[in-house]
Amino acid sequence: MSRRYELTDEEWELLCPLLPAGSFGRPRADDRTVLNGIVWKIRAGAAWRDVPARYGSWQSLYTRFRRWALDGTFARMLAAVQADRQARADVDWLVAVDSTLVRAHQHAAGAKKGGRAGDEPADHALGRSRGGLTTKLHLACDGRGRPLAFVLTGGNRNDCTQFEQVMARIRVPGPGPGRPRTRPARVVADKGYSSRSIRAYLRRRGIKHTIPERIDQLNGRIRRGERPCGFDKAHYRRRNVVERCFNRLKHYRAIATRYDKTATSFEAVITLAATLLWLRPL
């Protein structure tokens, strides 16, 4: 009998081959049980010690979660699910970009300064903003509100500074041996992304865009006798898919509030939730 939040047989069949093989030695906890326990934990937002006993020892769950976070297992899961949908022509390449703040719980603070070797940022993607200690999630989703790529920074970072980094992480493998798709058909974003550098970046890559100009930029064009940038209202109406994506991600309480001390762990939580959003469409 399937319990709430747990993987279905179809979902497990897709994800099972992506998990690393167990090492020799004494038998370890079943991978499916462990993954179900991790999903329950991030969905409920509970502490590791409070995960139900039916999923086994909480120490085993945490150890497996950290191992899979560090070795890229969760990233491979997301890439595989995206590739599966791309093979079915089920990816809408009108891409919406935006960011959202995540309030950090007091338990998220206190990690060793300077990060660790590898990809861990020195500030652990924590910063001070109006909301206190926060993390900002910069994200690109497809036209149906499913996450394609994201970047974590401290909550005090400006949206437009991370635009190119988010775009660079869009890599969806196709059904054949060719290169992954990295270029959307169109990018839709709000005024926070209206800058010459962003528009120039999109033009260089041959990507159409719908980004409204700020009033000061419009007035500057008028003073210089220039024409305003083209703006398609019909495409811009679809920008709300990224807001719906954030809403669905924050149904996972471990994302609505950050409890993880390291950016690596929090990124793994978001990656697993993003994978489930692809597997469980509305």
**pLDDT tens, N- to C-terminus, the chain (282 residues):** 457 889 999 999 999 999 998 665 566 789 999 999 999 999 999 999 999 999 999 999 999 999 999 999 999 999 999 999 999 999 999 999 999 999 999 888 878 776 554 578 888 999 987 778 999 999 999 999 999 999 999 999 999 999 999 999 999 998 777 899 999 999 999 999 998 899 999 999 999 999 988 776 666 666 776 776 667 788 999 999 999 999 999 999 999 999 999 999 999 999 999 999 999 977
Note the Cα 71 to chain centre separation in Å.
17
Same domain? 105 vs 62: no
d(CA 75, CA 188): 25
Same domain? 187 vs 233: yes
Pairing of the two strands 127-129 and 94-104: unpaired
* 77 occurs within a structural domain: no
d(CA 77, CA 85): 13
Q: How many domains does the chain have?
A: 2
d(CA 197, CA 278): 32
* 157 occurs within a structural domain: yes
Same domain? 31 vs 132: no
Residue span of the structural domain in which 103 resides: 93-261
Same domain? 148 vs 253: yes
d(CA 232, CA 249): 28
Q: Tell me the CATH number at 111.
A: 3.30.420
Same domain? 162 vs 34: no
Q: What are the respective helix, strand and coil percentages of the chain, to the nearest 5?
A: 45, 15, 40
| 257: amino acid identity, one letter | T
Same domain? 143 vs 249: yes
